[in-house]
Structure 1
Amino acid sequence: MKITIHSEQAASKWTPRHRFTHRRSSTAVVLGTGLGALGLLVSACGGSTPSSATSGNTTTTSNSIPTTINMAYTAPVADQLLPLIAKQAGLFAKYGVNVNITYLSATAALDGLVGGKIQMSVFDSPEPEVAVAAGQQIKWIAEWEHHANLYLLGGPGITSVKDLAGKAIAETVAGSTTAVLTQVALNQAGVLSSAHLEPVGNVGATLSAFLAGSVQATIAGPPNQTVLLSKVPGSSILVDYTKSFPWVGGGLAASTAWTSKNVAATVDVVKALQDAVVYFKSHEAESVAVIEKATHADSANATAGYQAMLSIIDATSSIVPSVTVETDVLKAMAPVSPATAKLTGASVIDTTYAQAASKG
């Protein structure tokens, strides 16, 4: 199935062996010179290679508790670390499940779900939606952020998205979260066909391009957007995705083949994540410590990540996946990813487990 993305770098067909999508980040480092000296936290595609998931010893008898549930997260950013926070707080153990959490790229996580090496993974849109459109048996089973924790920034003289007609915009790679969100904003403003999208490879390169003035816009997340605004006089926020159109900024997707055979264990995982949302809100120091360790950020940047995530979690009413939100996500994606236009909100979510978890 061909996925069309409007970018100078064409998207390729996604299969377990032929990857379509690239994450907005694959490893986070704070550089000691260059961008790091400016206080920028760089999540670089093509940095250190994420570890591989192991199949573990899992039981697939219906409604039995597996010895180990293998779970991944796909970006070292605060929004994706709720399972790590839950594990650190002993919340999975509270419900009698042993969860092994591994950092993988999004493509490796999708392959792992399809191949059975992992059972669940944290994503943000558009990866699960694109995978479902390609025929994969994956669904969202929990969502804790219904907006993206990102900002589209414009350089000097750019005061609206419409001003980006004919202008250069830095994106990481075609199909990434940041690329798709940029394209959605451009399409809504009616300038997608005239703007010049520049796939520069990784987040560090997008930040450098914006600082140098070689592009007039790019997307950045906490704390980078604040640093860029202070370092580029006349720059401004064009789109605040934390408050704009709905988007799954953090959630858990799972193999439907596995969850259907392990209902009780799946519910218990979601119960732990539900508790983790409450824990996250009331345990800032402990949560920041997990963020700091996983992202290799300093305390100030980890705290900024926590605060940004907290504001979005506070605005998300329930961990139960939302048909309304997913319908809005697919509507936003359709012009830039036509293959997803055939999907419905209900086709990419399964509310069964989160609803059961909410009942106690």
Structure 2
Amino acid sequence: MPRVGLLERLKSGRPVIGDGSFVFTLEKRGYVKAGPWTSEAAYQYPDAVRQLSREFVRAGADVVQTFTFYATDDKLQDKGLSGKNVSKDIGNLTSKQINSAACDIAREVADEGDALVCGGISPTPGYIKGIGKEAVQKEFDKQCEVFIEKDVDFLLAEFFGHVEELEWGMEVLKKYEKPVAATMRISTIGDMNGVSTAECAIRMAKSGADVVGINCLFDPENCIKTMKVMKSALNEAGLNPFLMAQPVGFHTHEANEHIDGYMALPEFPFALESRIITRAEAHKFAREAYELGIRYIGGCCGFEPYHIRAIAEELAEERGFRPPGHDKNSLWGKDIAQTNYKIMVHRVTKEYWMNLNPGTGRPEAHILSKLDKIDETE
């Protein structure tokens, strides 16, 4: 029986659940470098990527995204993974090698269940360097050629900070006649060129994206605030794409404080553990996103499989089923009542976990940390 596609699933009103963190999670496990954040692990350590993908699907994800983040040839050369400055222990890696390996992994895991494969492109260093539209689109084309050869189910342009570059990417993606989603790393203060959030949303939809939204940089609470602005602008413009949200799984500062989001936090990237959202907060995010009309709901950096499982559990009624790992998931701690430790037996209700104000365990912990600032004139 043919697999039901992305747009058909969204049109049914049933929420589609995305997967979660790859670069951050694999960096913690020793497979990705912090800083470059490139996705060569798909080629070098396929078992690691396969296992993480499998965990997300078991947690309830409907989508397996190819681990092709920052995998354009110019980005790989920029980070010393190909070209003249490549280290001898790595060898020259190409976008085609990484993307091909990533697509094969994603398809293998997706076919173990009923998941869709998403081929994703992300920003190029060429845009910032000003090499021009034609050169930037050439990098996108090389990635998409692999996605089409491997017959992914849909395409995604994600993590774009400049709506203009996203529009260039959309021109490429739309050529291939696949469903296309688009997300930017923006907040309520707009993109990195000063384009307002409302205008970004409108331009994303007009570029041909079937699904429009945001990903990364900001936490679920700020994500919801931004999506409200985008939805209002789209409604006023008479545009009606499906909506998508994939925030980071860390508590961040208010969106209007810094355009770089959680990267401005002094804890980024090696000390963010104290900021990880709880499962209850993932439940809350899923419900708020769904009630706002967002139907593609997932996570970005910091969203571990257990966060995706929380989203799947929260939306189980709307989806019509619980995730595959539900037999080991004691929803709201019901199985805790079986413990021999009496101090835990009252922790078996949704109210307990939703109203919990978790502590850091650090007696002298800062209430808030001061955002790092950079000298923009340097």
Interval of TM-score (by shorter of Structure 1 and Structure 2) = under 0.3
Q: Tell which structure's C-alpha radius of gyration is larger.
A: 2
Give the alignment's TM-score, normalised by structure 2: 0.25
Structure with more of its chain in strand, by fraction: 1
Structure with more of its chain in helix, by fraction: 2
Bigger relative contact order, structure 1 or 2, given CA contacts below 8 A and separation 6+? 1
